[in-house]
Chains A and B, each alone.
Chain A
């Protein structure tokens, strides 16, 4: 169980950390899908909600990026 094993496990960990982006992709798709649902029912009120849309999408996307950050930390900083 030498240093090569640790290096190999680091790469495995980086790959596993990227699975966190599945949740982020589903979340962002959910937000935009709900926005489109509502916008097609009530088009005149849709343009006022685009601010909320982007804020919500940024929240969801941030979590996916945190997963990517863990992967980068494992590859380059540990």
Chain B
């Protein structure tokens, strides 16, 4: 793949994901471009919700409405799945959703770096979720948490087959949670870079190629719109799956 698009010009689709160190710090904790964009995302969220919550008017203005919509969206999502006692996880799910949403959307800015397109970032988030699920499950229910793997109401002879299947599908959860977000972001940005690179190469070639370049440009524009949608949807799916898995920790029998 790298033979076709000039790597030196940065036109190939993979080099956009490279981690570049901006400031060298000891113990390997360098300040990289990934760190910078994560910091940017967090500061944007704090700024946005800080400004939205400033006025505390009973009849909200426009900015406060948007803040309240974000709040009720996550709160209703949690209440719909696990009821009122799920709300003890509200700060966690809220932070997760808006961190991923802002990281994905900031990645859509031209020349910006998408922090969630690295498996290190998404795997960390997913491991946090599963650690909280398992930790809270054992904390609240003790060994009764293992009833999760033996759903009620099945005939007895089925259990030796059912329990390994349930365990394996439980262990697949952190894997698929991390991989889903990572693969969506990686595939999306590779596709965008690819179509943009094609449009550029075709436009600078002679003859009739610029006309084909227009088609590539229009396709790239459509894919950009799709990528905005995917950014929002992937944040939503991560958050709602987190809520569903936390519900399994709160109420372990299916």
Contacts and interface: CB of A to CB of B under 8 A. Distances in A.
Overall SS of chain B's interface: helix
Looking at B1, B176, B183, which has the most chain A CB atoms within 10 Å of its CB?
A: B183
B163 interface: no
B67 to A, nearest CB: 21
Interface string B112-136: 0000000000000000000000000
B236 interface: yes
B187 A76 contact: no
A66 interface: yes
Given A75-B1, A76-B14, A66 B237 contact: no
Interface string A39-78: 0000000000001001100100110011011001001100
Contacts of A65: 179-180, 183-184, 187
Contacts of A75: 1
B240 A55 contact: yes
Given A51-B240, A55-B240, A76-B14, A62 B183 contact: yes
Interface SS of chain A: helix, strand, loop or mixed? helix
A55 B187 contact: no
Interface string B182-194: 1110110010000
Contacts of B146: none
Given A54-B233, A68-B187, A69-B186, A62 B240 contact: no
B216 interface: no
Contact of A62 (B1, B179, B236): B179
14 contacts: A54-B236, A55-B241, A58-B237, A62-B176, A62-B184, A65-B179, A65-B184, A68-B183, A68-B187, A69-B182, A69-B183, A72-B190, A76-B1, A76-B14
Given A61-B184, A62-B179, A62-B180, 9 more contacts: A51-B77, A51-B80, A54-B237, A58-B180, A62-B184, A66-B179, A69-B187, A72-B187, A76-B1
Interface of B: 1, 14, 77, 80, 176, 179-180, 182-184, 186-187, 190, 233-234, 236-237, 240-241
